[in-house]
Structure formats: structure tokens, C-alpha cells
Structure 1
């Protein structure tokens, strides 16, 4: 009898049912918003590479522009939403919007003060950060100039730590109310403003500037322009939170509130997740700075990796997290397990096409991304090799991402913490090994392999933790994932033809971009049709 009840519960939550279809539709809406943000993010990377070129100044600008985001991760980073959303969902169900607003206000008061302190530490540490980011430059004169340039840029971007914290709080408030679109689209505004700043520098001072010829003008425009970009992003997220009925009203009264103390305690226990990832990425970028333009190549590959994970796994987990949290709150173990299987299946389904496309079309994609000062055969080859590695890394990152969301929905911080340590150890091991590689191109590929090693280690750790937590429920839908793998086979002829066509060398650059986009869209459409047919075949 118990088995039959459990089976009926699983069937009610199956992917062929209306509730699951609603999850798919919502995930598609979130994916659309994220697509806009990620495409502008790719344009941002392309514009930076085209204007600044493979120079040490480009390395300094890209690396310092990531410092505030990495520093904000010390407070909570991506873990902030994973901790706050389940709590706010439960508080809303128990005490209504007023209680949730009060909780958010006290949590945000603490976090904004903490982020302001960290921003001050970043500013005071600017000389040290500048020294670290220029350490790998062999020429002493260039190294000194790069150190001074990076120091000034760090000072200009330090306030972004507070702004990123405010943006994350606003996005978490919207997610708790199941308002996803603006939160997903808002980062696009940040990208647009920064692109404008880079274009101004290219038009007014010329492209390809290196540390030896840089002046105060372009430094100020790029530094303040990037900070203004994050401010616009934060304002949009706060506006969205207010429209969702959860305006952020920072309060200093967090000490006497036991629920706030519980949230902050879970954030403290979860700090290793963003911190270890930030440390791993920072060390990786420092290693990439030993190659002229290496930071741009690695960041381009990393940005490409984030696109499919954001459109797939992040969109799915954003939609599923409130439901999984609600299942935990009502002690519905079967419902939670069904939601997890949905999340894992959808994340796998959305990660398989990028795996095939990025592996097979790595060189044409690299050629499309490398423009202006960055367009050279050597850099294109380096980027193509990195993209092939990233293709596998994005699949591992997707599984890792949805696994973390499921654990946080259970208010489990121990297993994610262990996974973060595994990610850091694996990534640093491969990164330090890359420094022993004498060839520049091979070194950058090994550095990207460090990203892959870290995500694999994290994903394996998270899956083991979830498998134990889900027993006796099934933890994976083997049949649906097998169908997705078979559907992926339908893409192979289209991708093979596209690769052959793009390798003929008889088409213009613009034509190549159009052909590449058409090949990707047709292949994904065929794959989506094959997946849909397999789902319809299972519907009663």
C-alpha cells in the first residue's frame, strides 16, 4: 500500500503532468530573460576584446572589474538567494508579507553594512591586488605600469561590492514571490552601460592601448563607467522587489530577531561556496595574466560557459527552488524528490545541446568572438581549444547548480560546504599545474580544464549527498535522460553539415556568423522537437 501511494505521488509530479509543464513554461520565461542578459554579456566580452585587444591593460581591466563581484561573494554571493528564498517562502506562508518585509529589511541591513566594510577593505588593499594581478608580467617596466593601472582601477570599482549586494537582495525578493523576468533581464542594463564606456574609450583614445601608453582619461571612464553600470543594475533589482510586494527597507535591528540570526547563521555556514569559487577563479585569472590577452581568452570561455548554465540549470532551479522549499516546509518528501528529478532532468536536457554544439563548432564560435584587436589566428586557436573544454564543464556546472539548490531547499549547508572544498582543491591543483606548462596556448587550455575539474568535483559531491537524503525515493529519472540522449543524436547530421560548411573558407565573416547561428538554431529546434515527441509519447 505504501509503495502504491508513493508511486501515485511520483506520477502526479511526473514531467508529463500539468504542474511540471507549468514549471517548463516558467523556466522558458526565465530563460528568455536570462538569454537577453547573457547575450549582452557576450557582446560585452566581444567589445572589450575588440577595443582593448590582447594587451596587459586588457588583462588589468577585465581582472579588476571582476574583483567586486568576487569580493561580494565573500558575504554570500550566489548562496544568498539559496538561503534567503526558502526562508522568505516559509515566512510568507506563516506570517504574510509584513513579516517577510521585516525579515528582509533586517537581513539586508546587516549585509549592506558588511558589504560596505568589505568595499573599504578592497580599496585599502588596492596596491596589493594590483601587485598580484601584474605579478606574472616578465618585463619589469611593464609590470610596474600594469601594477599602477590595476591599483587605480580597483579603487574606482570598489563601491560595486555594495551595489552587487543590493542587486542580489532585490533579485532574491522577486524570486521568493515567483517574479522572475525583471530579475533575469536586469543584468543586461549593466552590460549595455559598460559596453558604452568601452566604446567611448575606443573612439576617443583609440583601440589597443597598453599599460605603457594609458592615461588618466580612459582609466576614469572605464572605472567609473563600470561602477555606474552596476548601480543601474542594482536600481532595477530594487525596483522589481518593490513591485513584487517585498520592498527592501534596511534595518539595524537584526540582533534581537532569532529568525534573522538563523538566516545569517546559514549564510555564514554557506560562505565557503562563493568564497572558494571566487578564490579559484581569482587564482585562475592571475595565472592567465602571464599570457598577453590570456585573461580575455579565459574570461570569454568562462562567459560562454555561463550562457547555457544560466539559460538551462539556473532558469530551472530559479523556478523549482520555491516549490522544493514549500515541499520541505510541509514535510512532503515524495513531492520534494519529484521536484528534484524534474530539476535534474530539465537541467540535463538543456545542457546536452551546448555540449555537442560547443565541442563540434568550437573554432567557428571562437572566430566569431574574436574581433578587432583580438582577431588573430593564434588567439582564435587558443579560444577554440578552451571552448571545447568548457563544453563539458557547463554540463557538470548545471548538475552542480541544481544539486546545490535542492540541498539548500532542505536547509542543508553541510554538503554544499564539502562540495565547495572539493571544487577549490580540484581547481587549484589543475591551475598550479598549468603554470608548469611552457606553451602559452596549452597553458590556457589547462587553466580551463581547472574550471572543469572544479565543477566535476562539486557535482559528484553534491549528488552523493542528495542520493543519501532522497532515499527511499528515486533520485534520477533514467528513462527521461536516456530519451534526451537519443534526441541529441538527431542534432548530429545538422551540426556535422554546419561544421563542414563553415570550414570551407569560401564565405565572408558576416556570412559565417549567420551560418553559425542558423546551424545552432536548427539543431536546437530539431532536438527540442525530438524531446517533445518523447514526452508526448509518455502522456496518458
Structure 2
């Protein structure tokens, strides 16, 4: 009887993962395009470094107080409440959690405003005084921080909407809405380049341009939050923050779990801030590092991370049963993660140079930048596979209410990433410092994944963790697609095409390689989650 249920359950999990991946594709592609446009408009400049750090800072602060942990905590709580007591109980829990999260977000926004001068000093600390007017650099940074501080509250509103949708198995709007934010910022930067000019360095940037960029980015985040509220309303879960609900024991439990898990998001946020600040020692380094993170996130959210997002409600239900149920769900998820992540690793590694050629446009189209970016892409190709496993393990631990081990994994990952970033500063700028710096991503994720996987092993007992057929299928499929990718690389090297032609080569070759991979792996895909 259990085997009869495995098929539909596996198909449902695959369908949800495909929904997340499909809508996330739009969001992540536009997110990558946003960084490409930033590079084209701002170029390898220290002003570009300043703006990119200012733009991501509210998201990093939000991640510190809640971030992805909010969904990991709130989704299982809402799922459990709906099954035990109905939707109204779930709404009450969400209302209480929303009140506490938004209070924290407002406090964090105020704190960012107060600490803006100190943060500006830290961000610009590595700028070369011989090339940059330091006082002006810090003035511009402070002004940008003033405009983007409200985004912390807006990101919190958006995240509450995302959690409400995911708890009810709705993934389309939650995964696709960030595209609106990206498109809004793209329009803001393009207009800034047309009105004030491209490639401006600190000392050349007028205050009016800073005001435009700050307002445009915040309004874009506001549109994103509005869409997530709409998605929550469609699920009947658009709630009003309530102090009374926040005081109830049912709301207090997920909030306490959120507080215990702060390190899960805070440590990675600190790591990213340090990596970007260190990248600021290289002209245009923050933009290259942001491209690395954009490609990493695009790949991860289309592969292992998409699987983990779609799997969280099912993992929560399985964890309420027994270790065998959780192990079965885990094998299904790791099977999907391997089947989607491995071909991305192979394709991105082989096509790193032509992809870098496509991404480095406008003011960023310099031979040295393209070489460094290609090396960075190979690094993130491995990082997306490792990061997907790490994220899936964290989801399983949260479903099993083992937040302490999930937090420990994030702490270990961040320490490893910070150590790598510190060592990168010993490498000369001309010695590919930015490439060594980006190694912090896979090294950190690998360290965290090892800790998390050890905890998952303890949680599920002696049951198998790896879906063997999926692992074999991904390996065989990757070998089959390799000749197609190498032929495409040869085509690029021989033709040395322009931007549009290079993009065409990358798209055509990638599509052909994926088709070969899918055909080769197809016979083993139906076995996902059924063996053992």
C-alpha cells in the first residue's frame, strides 16, 4: 500500500519543485540581469562597489533578524495548525509572528540609520586613498543607507507573505514576485545612466543621482512586498499583525524557535557582508562578487534549493511521523537535487568563458574582468551543488525541530567563509584576489553541509540517505552531455562571436546538452524515492 502512494507523492513533489524552479527562473534571470546592467552602467568603479553594497545591505540585515529561517519556522507551524485546528488557528499564529517580526524589522531599520556613518566607514575602509576621495565616498554611502533603510521592513512583509503561500502549497507568486523588484531596479539604473552618464567614479556622482537610485530601489522592493501580500490574500492568509496574538503560546513557540535560530541566517549574512566589503578593495570587485552570488543563487534556486523549498511542507508532515518517513522524503529530495544540480555544475564549468563574455557588458567588458569572472563561474558551479545539499539538510532539521544543529551548521560555514575571505586579502589585487575571495562560498557551504548531514544521519537513524539510482542517472547523464558542451566551447573559440552570437551559442548548446542529459537519465527518474 505504501508503494502505491509513493508514486503520486513523488510526482506531486516533482511538480511543486518544477513550479518553484520555473517561476524562480524568471526571478533569478532578472536578478542576474540586474547585476549585469549595474556592471554595464557603473563599470569597474568604486562607486559601483558602494552602490551594490548599499543595495544588498537591507536584505542582509533582514536575513539577520529572520531571513530564510522565517519560512523554515513558520511553514511547519502553519501546516500543523491547519491540520489540527483549521485555518483560523493558523491565521492567529501568523498574526502573532508577523507582529514580532515587524517590530524587529522597524527596530533594525532605525538601528541602520543610527549606525550609517560607522557602516560607511567600514565599507570604504579598503578603498585606495590615492584613487578615491574618502570623505565623499562615505558621504555617498551614508546617503544611500538613508534611502534603503525602509527596505528591511518591506523585505519582512514580503517574507511573511511567502511563508503563508508556501504553507498552503502555493509557490508561483512567492517564487516569481522578486522579478518585479529586479525589473524596477533595472529601469532605475538604466535611466540613471541615460540622465547622468555611465561609468562615473566617486567625486563625479551628483547627489540627485544618489536620490534617484535610493528611491528607485526602495520603491522596487515595495512592489515586491505588495505582490507577496496579494499572494497571501489569495490563500486566505493575509493577516494583520496583532499584539494580542503575539502573546498567545501558539505564536510564542515559532517566535522562540526563530530566536534560537537567528544564527542560521545571521552568520551567512555576516559572511556575505565581509566578502563584499573585501571585494570592495578591487575596483568593480563588488559587482563581480555580486555576479557570482547572482549566478550561484540562480543555479541553486533552480536546482537543490528549489527542491528544498517545495519539500518543506512534506518534510514537516514526515517529521511528525517517524524517522523512516523522513528518510524516505529525504531520499526523494536528494534524488531531485542531484538530477538538477549535477548538469548545471558540468555545463557552467565547461561554458564558463562564453557565459562570462555575455555577462561582462558595457563598462565592465574588459579582458581581465572576463577572465576573473570565468574563473568565478567555475567556483560557483560547484558551490550551487554543495549549497543545495546544505539547504536541504537545514530544511529537514527544521522540520524535525532540530534548530540547534541547523544553526551550528551555519556557524561553521560562516567561520570557514570568513577565514577564506581573510586569506584572500593576502593575495595581490593583480593576482586574482577576487577569484580567491569567491572561494569562500563553496568552502563555507561544504563545511556547513558536513555538519548538517551528520545531524540528519542521527535524525533518520540507519536508513539510507542517498538515492542510488538518481546518483547514477546524474553521473551517466553528465558524461553523455559532455561532448555537446565541448563542441559548443570549440564553436565559441573558433568563431569568437559578438555578444548576441555568444548568447545564442550558450543558449543553443545548453539546451542541446540538457536534452541529451534528460534523455540519458530518463529511465532512472521514475525510481526516485521508491528504492530502499
TM-score range relative to shorter protein: over 0.9
Structure 1 residue 71 and structure 2 residue 61: aligned? yes
Structure 1 residue 501 and structure 2 residue 491: aligned? yes
Instruction: Map Cα deviations across residues 155-179 of structure 1 (whole Å, 9 max, x no partner).
Output: 1100000000000000000000101
Instruction: Look up the match of 2:174.
Output: 183
Q: Distance in 1 between matches of 2:212 and 2:524?
A: 53
Structure 1 residue 416 and structure 2 residue 406: aligned? yes
Instruction: Look up the match of 1:116.
Output: 106
Whether the 8 Å CA contact 1:426–1:457 is kept in 2: the answer is: yes
Instruction: Look up the match of 1:5.
Output: none
Q: Distance in 2 between matches of 1:62 and 1:88?
A: 36
Instruction: Look up the match of 1:24.
Output: 14
Instruction: Map Cα deviations across residues 310-356 of structure 1 (whole Å, 9 max, x no partner).
Output: 01122212221111111223x24322211111111111111111111
Instruction: Look up the match of 2:391.
Output: 401
Structure 1 residue 204 and structure 2 residue 210: aligned? no
Q: Which moved more, 1:54-63 or 1:507-516?
A: 507-516
Whether the 8 Å CA contact 2:99–2:246 is kept in 1: the answer is: no
Q: Which moved more, 1:490-499 or 1:143-152?
A: 143-152
Q: Distance in 2 between matches of 1:508 and 1:466?
A: 48
CA offset at residue 438 of structure 1? 1.2
Whether the 8 Å CA contact 2:106–2:153 is kept in 1: the answer is: yes
Instruction: Look up the match of 1:315.
Output: 306
CA offset at residue 506 of structure 1? 4.1
CA offset at residue 478 of structure 1? 2.2
Q: Which moved more, 1:522-531 or 1:283-292?
A: 522-531
Structure 1 residue 438 and structure 2 residue 428: aligned? yes
1:510-521 matched pairs, under 5 angstroms: 510-521=500-511
Instruction: Look up the match of 2:470.
Output: 480
Whether the 8 Å CA contact 1:13–1:338 is kept in 2: the answer is: no
CA offset at residue 536 of structure 1? 4.9
Gaps of 5+ in 1: 1-7
Q: Which moved more, 1:477-486 or 1:140-149?
A: 140-149
Q: Distance in 2 between matches of 1:68 and 1:460?
A: 30
Aligned mate of 1:529, from 513, 519, 523: 519
SS in 1 for 2:237: coil
Q: Distance in 2 between matches of 1:450 and 1:146?
A: 27
Instruction: Look up the match of 1:166.
Output: 157
Provide closer, same or farther for how the CA distance between residues 514 and 249 of structure 1 changes in structure 2, counting only shifts above 3 A. Answer: same
Aligned mate of 1:33, from 23, 27, 30: 23
Q: Which moved more, 1:310-319 or 1:151-160?
A: 310-319
Q: Which moved more, 1:473-482 or 1:401-410?
A: 473-482
1:99-498 matched pairs, under 5 angstroms: 99-139=89-129, 141-254=132-245, 256-329=247-320, 331-498=321-488
Instruction: Map Cα deviations across residues 277-323 of structure 1 (whole Å, 9 max, x no partner).
Output: 01001011110000000000111011101111101122212221111
Whether the 8 Å CA contact 1:160–1:231 is kept in 2: the answer is: yes
CA offset at residue 29 of structure 1? 1.6
Whether the 8 Å CA contact 1:430–1:450 is kept in 2: the answer is: yes
Whether the 8 Å CA contact 1:41–1:303 is kept in 2: the answer is: yes
Q: Distance in 1 between matches of 2:4 and 2:408?
A: 33
Q: Distance in 2 between matches of 1:235 and 1:74?
A: 22
Structure 1 residue 58 and structure 2 residue 48: aligned? yes
Q: Distance in 2 between matches of 1:479 and 1:528?
A: 14
Aligned residue pairs total 529
Q: Distance in 2 between matches of 1:238 and 1:122?
A: 25
Instruction: Map Cα deviations across residues 130-157 of structure 1 (whole Å, 9 max, x no partner).
Output: 1111110112652222111111101110
Gaps of 5+ in 2: none
CA offset at residue 255 of structure 1? 5.0
Q: Distance in 1 between matches of 2:309 and 2:423?
A: 36
Whether the 8 Å CA contact 1:291–1:440 is kept in 2: the answer is: no
Whether the 8 Å CA contact 1:434–1:446 is kept in 2: the answer is: yes
Instruction: Look up the match of 1:4.
Output: none
Q: Which moved more, 1:338-347 or 1:475-484?
A: 475-484
Q: Distance in 1 between matches of 2:205 and 2:498?
A: 34
SS in 2 for 1:246: coil
CA offset at residue 358 of structure 1? 1.4
Provide closer, same or farther for how the CA distance between residues 301 and 13 of structure 1 changes in structure 2, counting only shifts above 3 A. Answer: farther
Q: RMSD between aligned alpha carbons?
A: 1.5
CA offset at residue 522 of structure 1? 1.1
Provide closer, same or farther for how the CA distance between residues 197 and 335 of structure 1 changes in structure 2, counting only shifts above 3 A. Answer: same
Q: Distance in 1 between matches of 2:83 and 2:480?
A: 45
